């Protein structure tokens, strides 16, 4: 597997923040990810770019056959076409200050390709210099235009009240839209296993090896622990699908939706992947090849390798380098800091300022998501302000214009979203009739009223920025790391920060990323225990025993790991670690009767 030009990628952010990021960064060799959740937004952005570049635009309406898949295919094909044009222009540009190709090479990390560029600059012979430049033009390859499918957002489709076949469900249609596109890239599956989606993936030839053994479209799994990687990797291998990359994400120290583990911390998880990487390949490879043979698919003698990458809360070049060297990961993901880089992501001016001013507590792990998954939210966003205002005027809930999270049938035959006005009204009435204490009722009502219309509002920054919807009320979902950055940056500056050429960190007291994650897990465990005390959670005492044991095992691991840190880091790290150990030991958790 050929190494990409850069050792970092830009993960998916919300539904709109990275919707067109490949058009800003792919030509510079930087990989990024487009969300395929919101095909309405995708169609709006396709129209925008068609008009901008003089490309004929024919609208695909929601009433057209297979509209969701066709919208996604049309947009991805457009992005692919435009990036190819950008790359051709970059490769043809002169090697001079400020040119596209110079910008490409100036941003590269210290690699053989970067050194070849520097050697070209130092060459005085004109013919030799030209020869080296021609080689460098060919080597200036783009970053990957990847897509993300959140497997839990797989709402069944209905027509005239009748459920359509499974392939028209949201995740299935999104996959078909990507599979039918011209892209040679990867789909990132996040949020856990979806058996019908994974099985459906095996019906598309682009995910199977070609005559040369190459995969035109690759599969990346976003996972939070080794066990999840093994289970999902085996399920896919049994269907003739190879996982080309396992993208490990912190369970809590990330933006957007968070998927907390039972106290498995990122460091120990990475250690397990480092130890068992070859074991994982040896286990899955025979299953994969045997399945291909059973399907009558030509099998090449190709070593299908696996990339291991990590993301979630990385904030400094020192942390980035440590992950690459100690855990031997193949790459890192940087998301939240790029919200402060306007040439890369879509954040409207008002919310860019709100992110710059965000203080502790204004970015919080909320109950806002109608998917029932913890969700990092900006408390000062227009979406949150609108939600609170609706409660004040006794009109809580959303009109639910997009319905991507409409799964609940508690009060309706047709699935409804639990952030929708119709559901919220019925649920509050139902709670009033329940036999609940005042404290239980208040907590239950708060959980219902906390739900926000993130399906629609996560597109708001994009639709505001591009004047698609001037009335949008954006939701913003940064990770907690955002409070450590207080400067609007250029692409060059953020890349330089990642590689240690300069620092954009404003908070000199920022804890190490491993410490931050541990703090978040302690807060999460404390909150889960409170829910049990109010009889609002079915968590068993065994869950809390296991969780706290895993935290303590992680703390012991970090104590041993600290010897790998430089002395200045080590002292602060161990002090923070001991303070957090005391917090875990003092937690009041549910006990067995």
For residue range 348-388, what is the model confidence (pLDDT) as tens digits?
999 999 999 999 899 999 999 999 999 999 999 999 999 99
Residue 593, pLDDT score: 61
**CA distance linking residue 35 with residue 57, whole number of Å:** 22
- Indicate the average pLDDT of the chain: 96
What 3-state DSSP class applies to 72? helix
Q: Are 234 and 207 in contact (CB under 8 A)?
A: no
Q: Is the model's pLDDT at 532 over the cut of 70? A: yes
Q: Is the model's pLDDT at 415 over the cut of 80? A: yes
Neighbours of 400 (CB within 10 A): 21
Residue 57, pLDDT score: 98
Q: In Å, what is the CA distance from 516 to each residue of 251, 252, 313?
A: 12, 9, 8
Of 178, 173, 179, the C-alpha closest to 156 is 173
Q: Is the model's pLDDT at 160 over the cut of 90? A: no
User: Is the model more confident about 568 or about 345?
Assistant: 345
Q: Who contacts 132 (Cβ-Cβ below 8 Å, separation ≥6)?
A: 116, 119, 120, 123
The separation between CA 545 and the C-alpha centre of its own chain, rounded to angstroms, equals 30
Neighbours of 246 (CB within 10 A): 25
pLDDT in tens, 25-80: 999 999 999 999 999 999 999 999 999 999 999 999 999 999 999 999 999 999 99
Structural tokens at position 347: 């954040």
Neighbours of 58 (CB within 10 A): 7
User: Is the model more confident about 102 or about 2?
Assistant: 102
Rg from Cα positions in the chain: 24
Residue 8, pLDDT score: 98
Q: What percent of the chain has pLDDT over 70?
A: 99
Q: Which helix (H) or strand (E) holds 356?
A: helix 349-357
Neighbours of 296 (CB within 10 A): 7
Residue 442, pLDDT score: 96
Residue 565, pLDDT score: 83
Please state whether beta strands 363-366 and 375-378 pair in parallel, antiparallel, or not at all (unpaired). Answer: antiparallel
Detail the DSSP E strand segments found in 11-129.
31-35
Q: Who contacts 259 (Cβ-Cβ below 8 Å, separation ≥6)?
A: 191, 192, 224, 249, 251, 373
pLDDT in tens, 452-476: 999 999 999 999 999 999 999 999 9
**CA distance linking residue 593 with residue 345, whole number of Å:** 52
pLDDT in tens, 313-330: 999 999 999 999 999 999
pLDDT in tens, 280-306: 999 999 999 999 999 999 887 777 889
* Mean pLDDT of all residues in 441-451: 97
* Mean pLDDT of all residues in 512-528: 98
DSSP letter at 164 equals: P
The secondary structure of 404-465 as a DSSP string is: TT--B-SS-SS-B-TTBHHHHHHHHHHHHHS---HHHHHHHHHHHHT---HHHHTTHHHHHH
Q: Are 548 and 263 in contact (CB under 8 A)?
A: yes
Structural tokens at position 251: 């369970």
Q: Are 163 and 409 in contact (CB under 8 A)?
A: no
The predicted model scores a pTM of: 0.97
Please state whether beta strands 186-190 and 162-163 pair in parallel, antiparallel, or not at all (unpaired). Answer: unpaired
Residue 299, pLDDT score: 84
Q: Is the model's pLDDT at 2 over the cut of 80? A: no
Q: Who contacts 409 (Cβ-Cβ below 8 Å, separation ≥6)?
A: 415, 416
Q: Are 577 and 515 in contact (CB under 8 A)?
A: yes
Of 229, 232, 208, the C-alpha closest to 277 is 229
Q: Is the model's pLDDT at 414 over the cut of 90? A: no
φ, ψ of residue 541 to 5 degrees: the values are: -55, -35
**CA distance linking residue 105 with residue 103, whole number of Å:** 6
Q: How many CA atoms lie within 13 A of 447 on its CB side?
A: 15
Q: How many CA atoms lie within 13 A of 507 on its CB side?
A: 18
pLDDT in tens, 387-397: 999 999 999 99
φ, ψ of residue 449 to 5 degrees: the values are: -75, -20
């Amino acid at each position: 597997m050929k190494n990409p030009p850069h050792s970092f990628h830009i993960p998916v952010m919300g539904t709109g923040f990275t919707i067109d990021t490949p058009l800003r960064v792919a030509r510079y060799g930087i990989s990024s990810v487009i969300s395929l959740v919101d095909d309405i937004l995708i169609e709006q952005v396709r129209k925008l770019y068609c008009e901008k570049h003089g490309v004929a635009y024919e609208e695909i309406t929601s009433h057209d056959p297979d509209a969701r898949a066709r919208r996604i295919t049309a947009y991805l094909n457009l992005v692919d076409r435009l990036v190819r044009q950008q790359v051709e222009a970059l490769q043809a540009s002169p090697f001079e200050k400020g040119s596209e190709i110079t910008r490409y090479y100036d941003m590269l990390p210290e690699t053989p390709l970067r050194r070849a560029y520097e050697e070209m600059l130092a060459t005085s012979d004109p013919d030799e210099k030209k020869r080296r430049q021609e080689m460098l033009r060919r080597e200036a390859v783009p970053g990957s235009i990847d897509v993300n499918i959140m497997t839990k957002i797989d709402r069944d489709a209905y027509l005239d009240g009748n459920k359509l076949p499974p392939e028209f469900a949201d995740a299935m249609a999104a996959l078909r839209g990507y599979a039918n596109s011209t892209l040679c890239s990867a789909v990132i599956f996040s949020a856990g296993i979806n058996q019908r989606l994974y099985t459906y993936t095996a019906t598309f030839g682009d995910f199977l090896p070609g005559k040369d053994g190459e995969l035109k479209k690759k599969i990346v799994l976003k996972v939070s622990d080794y066990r999840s990687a093994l289970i999902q990797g085996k399920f896919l291998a049994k269907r003739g699908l190879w996982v080309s990359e396992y993208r490990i994400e912190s369970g809590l120290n990330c933006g957007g939706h968070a998927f907390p583990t039972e106290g498995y911390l990122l460091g120990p998880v990475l250690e397990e992947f480092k130890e068992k990487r070859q074991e994982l390949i040896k286990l899955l490879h025979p299953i994969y090849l045997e399945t291909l043979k059973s399907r009558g698919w030509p099998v090449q003698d190709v070593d299908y390798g696996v990339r291991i990458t990590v993301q979630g809360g990385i904030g400094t070049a020192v942390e980035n380098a440590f992950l690459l060297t100690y855990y031997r990961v193949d790459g890192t993901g940087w998301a939240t800091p790029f919200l402060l880089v306007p040439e890369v992501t879509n954040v409207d001016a008002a919310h860019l300022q709100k992110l710059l001013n965000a203080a502790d507590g204004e970015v919080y792990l909320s109950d806002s998501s109608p998917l029932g998954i913890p969700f990092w939210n900006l408390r000062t966003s227009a979406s949150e302000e609108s939600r609170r205002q609706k409660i004040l005027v006794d009109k809580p809930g959303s009109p639910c214009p997009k319905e991507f999270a409409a799964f609940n049938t508690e009060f309706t035959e047709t699935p409804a979203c639990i952030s929708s006005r119709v559901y919220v009204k019925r649920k509050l009435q139902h709670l009033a009739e329940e036999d609940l204490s005042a404290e239980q009722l208040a907590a239950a009502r708060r959980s219902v009223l906390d739900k926000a219309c993130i399906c629609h509002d996560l597109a708001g920054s994009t639709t505001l920025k591009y004047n698609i919807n001037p009335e949008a009320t954006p939701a913003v979902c940064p990770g907690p790391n955002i409070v450590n950055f207080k400067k609007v940056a250029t692409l060059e500056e953020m890349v330089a920060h990642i590689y240690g050429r300069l620092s954009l960190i404003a908070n000199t007291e920022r804890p190490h990323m491993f410490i931050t994650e541990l703090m978040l897990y302690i807060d999460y465990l404390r909150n889960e225990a409170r829910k049990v005390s109010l009889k609002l959670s079915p968590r068993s005492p065994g869950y809390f025993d296991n969780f706290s044991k895993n935290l303590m095992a992680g703390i012991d691991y970090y104590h041993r790991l600290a010897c790998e840190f430089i002395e200045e880091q080590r002292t602060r790290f161990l002090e923070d670690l001991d303070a957090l150990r005391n917090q875990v030991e003092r937690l009041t958790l549910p006990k067995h009767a």
